[in-house]
C-alpha cells in the first residue's frame, strides 16, 4: 500500500503533517496506556511501514488485507513530537494538537469541552468559530440564554421546549451543517 499525503495540511501548532507523524502514530497505537480499547485490532495486519519521502507512506501487510485503509481511519494521527506523550498529556490538552477544522480550547470534566475554529484548516473556513459539547442533562436553556455559541445540537423534537431569545432560531438537521 502506498499513501500520498496532502502537502497543505498543518497541525494546529503550525507544524506540517508528514509521513513521520503517521509512522509515530502507528508505533504508538498498540502502546496507548489506560485506553478503554486496544488499537491493535486496526494495526495488526501491518508488517512494515516506512516513509518513502516526507509526504509518501508505504505500508506492507503480512498478507492480503483489503480493509487496511478502513482500519487506519480508526487510528488518530498525532504529531510525531507527541509520540511519547502520556494519556494525561492528551486528557489535559497539552498534547491535543490535530489537523482538523476545530482545535482544542478547554475541557472541564463533567461540564463541557470547547473547540475553536481553525482558520488555517486546509478544507476552508469552519462553519462556526466555536463548538461546545455538553453532557446529557446539561442545562441547555441556561446556555441558550448566555448566547455564546452559533449552533446547538439537541435531541430531535426537543427544540419546542426551549425559550429562544430574539435573533436565535431552530434549523432542521438537513440545513444545520451548511453555511
- Residue 113: its pLDDT value, please? 86
Helix, strand, coil in percent for the chain, rounding step 5: 25, 20, 55
Least confident piece of the model among 13-17, 56-60, 88-92, 131-135: 131-135
Quick: pLDDT tens for 60-119. Answer: 999 999 999 999 999 999 999 999 888 888 888 889 999 999 999 998 888 888 899 998
Q: Which conformational region is residue 96 in: left (phi greater than 0), alpha (psi within -120 to 50 degrees), or beta?
A: beta
- Residue 171: its pLDDT value, please? 57
Quick: pLDDT tens for 15-46. Answer: 999 999 999 999 998 887 777 777 888 999 99
- Residue 3: its pLDDT value, please? 97
53 class by beta-carbon count within 10 Å (0-12 exposed, 13-18 middle, 19+ buried): exposed
Strand-pairing partners, residue 49, are: 59
Gyration radius of the chain over CA positions: 20
- Residue 179: its pLDDT value, please? 42
Amino acid at each position: 500500500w502506498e499513501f500520498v499525503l496532502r502537502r497543505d495540511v498543518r497541525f494546529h501548532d503550525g507544524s506540517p503533517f508528514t509521513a513521520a507523524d503517521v509512522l509515530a502514530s502507528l508505533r504508538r497505537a498498540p502502546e496507548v496506556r489506560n485506553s478503554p480499547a486496544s488499537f491493535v485490532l486496526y494495526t495488526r495486519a501491518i508488517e512494515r511501514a516506512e516513509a518513502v519521502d516526507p509526504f509518501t507512506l508505504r505500508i506492507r501487510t503480512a498478507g492480503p488485507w483489503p480493509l487496511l485503509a478502513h482500519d487506519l481511519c480508526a487510528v488518530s494521527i498525532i504529531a510525531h513530537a507527541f509520540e511519547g506523550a502520556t494519556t494525561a498529556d492528551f486528557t489535559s490538552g497539552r498534547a491535543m494538537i490535530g489537523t482538523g477544522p476545530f482545535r482544542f480550547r478547554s475541557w472541564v470534566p463533567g461540564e463541557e469541552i470547547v473547540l475553536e475554529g481553525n482558520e488555517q484548516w486546509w478544507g476552508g473556513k469552519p462553519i462556526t468559530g466555536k463548538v461546545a459539547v455538553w453532557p446529557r442533562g446539561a442545562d441547555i436553556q441556561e446556555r441558550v440564554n448566555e448566547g455564546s455559541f452559533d449552533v446547538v445540537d439537541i435531541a430531535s423534537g426537543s427544540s419546542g421546549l426551549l425559550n429562544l431569545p430574539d435573533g436565535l432560531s431552530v434549523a432542521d438537521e438537513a440545513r444545520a451543517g451548511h453555511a
